[in-house]
Amino acid sequence: MPQLNQRDAMHYIATRQEFTASALSGVNVNEQGLSGAFGRLDAQEFAQIKQDETRIDYAVYSYGTPIAWHTAEGWYVVSQKFSVTTSKHSNYVRRAIAESLQGVN
Protein backbone atom coordinates (compact mmCIF):
# COMPACT_ATOMS: atom_id res chain seq x y z
CA MET A 1 0.00 0.00 0.00
CA PRO A 2 1.59 3.32 -1.03
CA GLN A 3 2.56 5.91 1.58
CA LEU A 4 1.40 9.33 0.35
CA ASN A 5 1.02 12.86 1.54
CA GLN A 6 -2.54 13.74 2.44
CA ARG A 7 -3.18 15.98 -0.58
CA ASP A 8 -2.07 13.28 -3.04
CA ALA A 9 -4.45 10.88 -1.32
CA MET A 10 -7.37 12.62 -3.05
CA HIS A 11 -6.62 10.76 -6.31
CA TYR A 12 -6.61 7.45 -4.45
CA ILE A 13 -9.91 8.26 -2.77
CA ALA A 14 -11.51 9.31 -6.06
CA THR A 15 -10.43 6.05 -7.69
CA ARG A 16 -11.03 3.96 -4.53
CA GLN A 17 -7.47 2.67 -4.28
CA GLU A 18 -5.76 1.64 -1.06
CA PHE A 19 -3.32 4.13 0.47
CA THR A 20 -1.83 5.39 3.71
CA ALA A 21 -1.10 9.08 4.25
CA SER A 22 -0.12 9.55 7.87
CA ALA A 23 -3.39 9.37 9.86
CA LEU A 24 -5.54 9.20 6.69
CA SER A 25 -6.02 5.90 4.88
CA GLY A 26 -8.20 4.20 2.31
CA VAL A 27 -9.03 0.50 2.46
CA ASN A 28 -10.56 -1.85 -0.08
CA VAL A 29 -13.15 -3.43 2.20
CA ASN A 30 -13.83 -6.33 -0.17
CA GLU A 31 -10.31 -7.54 0.53
CA GLN A 32 -9.77 -6.34 4.11
CA GLY A 33 -13.24 -6.12 5.64
CA LEU A 34 -14.18 -3.46 8.16
CA SER A 35 -13.02 -5.78 10.93
CA GLY A 36 -15.07 -3.97 13.56
CA ALA A 37 -13.02 -0.78 13.22
CA PHE A 38 -15.59 1.90 14.00
CA GLY A 39 -13.36 4.31 15.92
CA ARG A 40 -15.09 7.31 17.49
CA LEU A 41 -18.36 7.27 15.56
CA ASP A 42 -21.34 8.63 17.46
CA ALA A 43 -24.56 6.59 17.74
CA GLN A 44 -26.12 7.99 14.55
CA GLU A 45 -23.05 7.40 12.37
CA PHE A 46 -22.46 4.00 13.99
CA ALA A 47 -26.03 2.99 13.10
CA GLN A 48 -25.44 4.11 9.50
CA ILE A 49 -22.21 2.16 9.06
CA LYS A 50 -23.77 -0.94 10.63
CA GLN A 51 -26.69 -0.60 8.20
CA ASP A 52 -24.28 -0.27 5.24
CA GLU A 53 -21.60 -2.67 6.51
CA THR A 54 -22.25 -5.64 4.22
CA ARG A 55 -22.43 -3.39 1.14
CA ILE A 56 -19.32 -1.26 1.75
CA ASP A 57 -16.56 -1.83 -0.80
CA TYR A 58 -14.22 1.02 0.18
CA ALA A 59 -13.71 3.04 3.36
CA VAL A 60 -11.65 6.11 4.28
CA TYR A 61 -10.31 6.34 7.82
CA SER A 62 -8.96 9.25 9.83
CA TYR A 63 -7.10 8.22 12.97
CA GLY A 64 -8.78 4.82 12.85
CA THR A 65 -12.33 6.19 12.52
CA PRO A 66 -14.22 5.64 9.27
CA ILE A 67 -15.14 9.09 7.94
CA ALA A 68 -16.50 8.00 4.54
CA TRP A 69 -17.41 4.81 2.73
CA HIS A 70 -18.56 3.73 -0.68
CA THR A 71 -21.28 1.25 -1.63
CA ALA A 72 -22.86 0.44 -4.99
CA GLU A 73 -25.36 3.22 -4.23
CA GLY A 74 -22.60 5.82 -3.84
CA TRP A 75 -20.63 7.61 -1.14
CA TYR A 76 -21.55 8.32 2.47
CA VAL A 77 -19.50 10.95 4.34
CA VAL A 78 -20.11 11.24 8.06
CA SER A 79 -21.52 14.54 9.27
CA GLN A 80 -20.17 14.10 12.80
CA LYS A 81 -17.57 16.69 13.83
CA PHE A 82 -14.14 15.59 15.02
CA SER A 83 -10.79 17.35 15.31
CA VAL A 84 -9.50 20.08 13.01
CA THR A 85 -7.29 17.52 11.26
CA THR A 86 -10.12 15.04 10.72
CA SER A 87 -12.27 17.89 9.39
CA LYS A 88 -9.47 18.58 6.91
CA HIS A 89 -9.48 14.88 5.97
CA SER A 90 -13.25 15.01 5.44
CA ASN A 91 -12.78 17.99 3.13
CA TYR A 92 -10.22 16.02 1.09
CA VAL A 93 -12.77 13.22 0.79
CA ARG A 94 -15.54 15.58 -0.32
CA ARG A 95 -13.25 17.19 -2.92
CA ALA A 96 -12.11 13.78 -4.17
CA ILE A 97 -15.71 12.62 -4.55
CA ALA A 98 -16.67 15.81 -6.40
CA GLU A 99 -13.68 15.46 -8.75
CA SER A 100 -14.47 11.80 -9.45
CA LEU A 101 -18.07 12.70 -10.29
CA GLN A 102 -16.91 15.45 -12.65
CA GLY A 103 -14.73 12.90 -14.41
CA VAL A 104 -17.77 10.68 -15.02
CA ASN A 105 -19.65 13.37 -16.99
Question: Domains of the chain: which residue ranges?
Answer: 9-104
Q: Where are the beta strands (DSSP E) in 1-105?
A: 19-21, 24-28, 58-62, 65-71, 74-77
Instruction: Examine the pLDDT at 34 and tell me if it is beyond 90.
Output: no
pLDDT above 90 coverage of the chain, percent: 71
Q: What is the pTM (predicted TM-score) of this model? A: 0.88
Walk across the sheet containing 74-77 and list its strands.
Answer: 19-21, 24-28, 58-62, 65-71, 74-77
| DSSP three-state, residue 70 | strand
Burial class of residue 18 in the structure, from the number of CB atoms within 10 Å of its CB (0-12 exposed, 13-18 middle, 19+ buried) = middle
Residue type, 22: S
Instruction: Examine the pLDDT at 55 and tell me if it is beyond 70.
Output: yes
